[in-house]
Amino acid sequence: MKMNGKIASLLALGFLIISCESDDNSVDLPKGEYDNGILISNEGAFSGGTGTINYISDDYSTMESEVYKKVNNEDLGTIVQSIGFNDDEAYIIANVSNKISIVNRNTFEKLGEITTGLNNPRYFAVSNGKGYVSNWGDTADENDDYIAIINLSSFAIEGTIPVVLGPEKLLGENNVLYVAHSGAYGTNNKVSVINTITNELSSTIEVGDVPNSMQIEDGYLWVLASGKPNYIPGVEETGGVLSKINTRDYSDIVNYTFGVTEHPGSLGLDDDEFYYGLGGSIYKMDIEDTELPTSAYIENISYYNMTIHDDKMYVTDAKDYASNGSVSIYDLETKELEQTFDVGLIPGGVYFN
């Protein structure tokens, strides 16, 4: 009996060790073929084409094109504007096709789609357990722009919130949704603040002309505006503005102004350092700085969009907008180019699994 007891104890210990090892190993197992990597959204041709998604593995050893079509045997639609995420779900927005395809972000298997209630959809964000999508509406009508509210369980649009002209980038934070209004085909200089508990507009903030990107850090909303360009007929050119806005009191704003002909874009944040693109160069600014930098951090960069993530800079280049573009990856500390990949037509966004 004693020997049997010892055997039983050893067996139990063995099962426990195996169980623990299995649990430990399962933590590191990929959730799907496209887990642990980088996703590139390619807009595609404006007329008669389809947008695509590229996948690049974290170690840069693998690059795969058109992953959505490979998995689902269908196209995404015309102009893949952006990708947004809710846990393991990815919401892929096809702007001209007025369609959102929902997939598992790790396997890219299609979970559903939204094809009604959208009118020129742009960007997606989550706040208070709901999805929100900015919509330009009819670009000939400056008064029909709105934010669509998405039920994340049924993938159905369950309401809309009217907003001012040209809603673009969205940022959800603490039951608040921030909406940057660049102005669609016109120009605007507003940020809407929406209470996502009541789904009502609670405040409107005036910032620089054509706000293009936002970051939030330490109780402040930072908004980078590019300014009005010089190529719009009848519109006077204005320079960019970086606005620091206290989220406890939206009237407390500090503005950092650029020159009239300076039009910055793609505000990124990493380790309390801001990065943005301007005139073929990348600039770096500490979050505590009280003035804009006067010299470039990295020069001679050709970019369509720029994304900062985990000490890396990802720069997309649309080239001639008619042939495939590229994405280049830089180490932010050394400023060295690590890798360049040829991707799809007009690569617009970089995202991370």
Q: Per-residue pLDDT tens, the chain, 353 aa: give them.
A: 444 544 444 444 444 444 444 455 556 688 899 999 999 999 999 888 899 999 999 999 999 999 999 999 999 999 999 999 999 999 999 999 999 999 999 999 999 999 999 999 999 999 999 999 999 999 999 999 999 999 999 999 999 999 999 999 999 999 999 999 999 999 999 999 999 999 999 999 999 999 999 999 999 999 999 999 998 888 999 999 999 999 998 999 999 999 999 999 999 999 999 999 999 999 999 999 999 999 999 999 999 999 999 999 999 999 999 999 999 999 999 999 999 999 999 999 999 99
Q: What span, in angstroms and rounded, lies between the C-alpha atoms of 42 and 21?
A: 41
Q: Which two structure tokens, joined as six digits, stand for 97?
A: 């096709």
Provide the pLDDT for residue 327: 98
What is the structure's pLDDT at 293? 97
The whole-number pLDDT of residue 204 equals 97
Backbone angles phi, psi at 71, to 5 degrees: -80, -40
172 to 85, 179, 194, 201: CA distances (angstroms): 12, 9, 9, 14
Cα separation, 87 vs 351, in Å, equals: 14
Q: What is the pLDDT of residue 341?
A: 98
Q: What is the pTM of this model?
A: 0.91
Annotation: CATH topology of 116-259: Methylamine Dehydrogenase; Chain H (2.130.10)
3-class state of residue 54 by DSSP: strand
Residue 56 near residue 63 (C-beta atoms within 8 A): yes
Q: What is the pLDDT of residue 27?
A: 60
Distance CA 226, CA 238 (A): 8
At 52, the amino acid letter reads T
Separation between Cα atoms, residue 120 and residue 263, nearest integer Å: 25
Q: What is the pLDDT of residue 232?
A: 86
Q: Decide if 67 contacts 108 (C-beta within 8 A).
A: yes
